[in-house]
Structure 1
Amino acid sequence: MDIVMRLGSEKPVVIFSKSNCGISHAIKMLICGFGANPTVYELDQHPVGTEMENALLALGCHPSVPAVFIGKQFVGGSNEVMDLNVQVSGRILLFFELDYHPKGREIENALLALGSHTSVPAVFIGKLFVGGSNEVMSLNVQGKLKPLLIKAKAIWM
């Protein structure tokens, strides 16, 4: 576990990943979309990747990747990164886990009715339904995600 904690505290943003993991890629793109330049350790390509993966599992990461450190502190995996409540300009952005929400099934049906191909993830920015993970990633690649977030006052420059 020492190697992971040491590497995780050496840079402002550190992501442990695997090159073939779609969720890891999405988390990297999300963090880069905010202008961060994370240090990324691809466990499947690193000489001590197996040792690092075992350390992440011992740390409680299930699955082992992605694992994110921000400001020298372990944030968690994809669920923890996505579940963060962010307070911006007096507003709180909430990430709903439909499995645990009392009206989860009702919300899921409403999202499907909006045209989301899968019910989750379903992303709203401001009051605009932008779609699922593919649409969010496309917006990010096109350079349109950050301006939408700024316009909705979810982030500021």
Structure 2
Amino acid sequence: MHQAIPYRTWIHANTRDSRDLPLAVRGAGVDSASVAKLVSENAVIVIGRRGCCMCHVIKRLLQGLGVNPPVYEVDEHHEAAVAAHLGAATVQFPAVFVGGKLFGGLERVMATHISGELVPILKDAGALWL
């Protein structure tokens, strides 16, 4: 029998270069500079609870549109700290940031997708170019 090689889709949040980020980034230590940097450097980023199935739904929806967003996964005991670092008093996870600004949660992403407004917003942010 062959033995599977373990594959990790996450790295620690204190990674220096965000170009090396995989699809999922695990928020081990909450650093306001690194979270803000991730949001500002990526056209689209999803921030959500670790293991949240709704993060997977948003990620798959965006991938279906041609966007490959990084996912910053936050442990439950770091949620309040991440929300405070992002400057938003009422952040619901998963939170989607488009163009460095809070776009909304799952409901907003789904509503704009159904109405046909999501693709132009993603193009304006530079996440899509076709």
Distance 1:73 1:9 in 2: 8
Distance 2:86 2:54 in 1: 16
Residue 74 of structure 2 corresponds to residue 43 of structure 1: yes
Distance 1:77 1:87 in 2: 15
User: Pairwise mapping of residues 116-135 of structure 1 onto structure 2 (< 5 A)?
Assistant: none
In the superposition, the TM-score normalised over structure 1's length comes to 0.44
Given the superposition, is the C-alpha separation of residues 38 and 79 from structure 1 closer, same or farther in structure 2, using an over 3 Å criterion? same
Instruction: Please tell me the residue identity of whatever aligns with 2:95.
Output: A
Given the superposition, is the C-alpha separation of residues 25 and 57 from structure 1 closer, same or farther in structure 2, using an over 3 Å criterion? farther
Per the alignment, residue 27 of structure 2 pairs with none
- Measure how far apart 1:54 and its partner are: 4.5
Per the alignment, residue 16 of structure 1 pairs with 47
Query: Is the Cα–Cα contact under 8 Å of residues 45 and 97 in structure 2 kept in the other structure?
Result: yes
Runs of 4+ in 1 over 6 A off after TM superposition: none
Per the alignment, residue 28 of structure 1 pairs with 59
- Measure how far apart 1:22 and its partner are: 1.3
Tell me the alpha carbon deviations over residues 38-82 of structure 1, each in whole angstroms, 9 at most, x when there is no partner: 12101129xx66521444694422xx3110011222211111111
Percent identical residues: 35
Per the alignment, residue 52 of structure 1 pairs with 82
Per the alignment, residue 104 of structure 2 pairs with 76
Per the alignment, residue 138 of structure 1 pairs with none
- Measure how far apart 1:32 and its partner are: 1.2
Instruction: Please tell me the residue identity of whatever aligns with 1:38.
Output: P
Which secondary structure does the structure 2 equivalent of 1:38 belong to?
Answer: coil
- Measure how far apart 1:19 and its partner are: 2.9
- Measure how far apart 1:35 and its partner are: 1.6
Tell me the alpha carbon deviations over residues 108-141 of structure 1, each in whole angstroms, 9 at most, x when there is no partner: xxxxxxxxxxxxxxxxxxxxxxxxxxxxxxxxxx
State the Cα RMSD in Å: 3.1
Return the structure number with greater relative CO, CA threshold 8 A, min gap 6: 2
Instruction: Please tell me the residue identity of whatever aligns with 1:86.
Output: G
Which secondary structure does the structure 2 equivalent of 1:9 belong to?
Answer: helix
Distance 1:87 1:41 in 2: 24
Which secondary structure does the structure 2 equivalent of 1:28 belong to?
Answer: helix
Unaligned runs of 5+ in 1: 89-156
Query: Is the Cα–Cα contact under 8 Å of residues 83 and 90 in structure 2 kept in the other structure?
Result: no
Given the superposition, is the C-alpha separation of residues 76 and 5 from structure 1 closer, same or farther in structure 2, using an over 3 Å criterion? farther
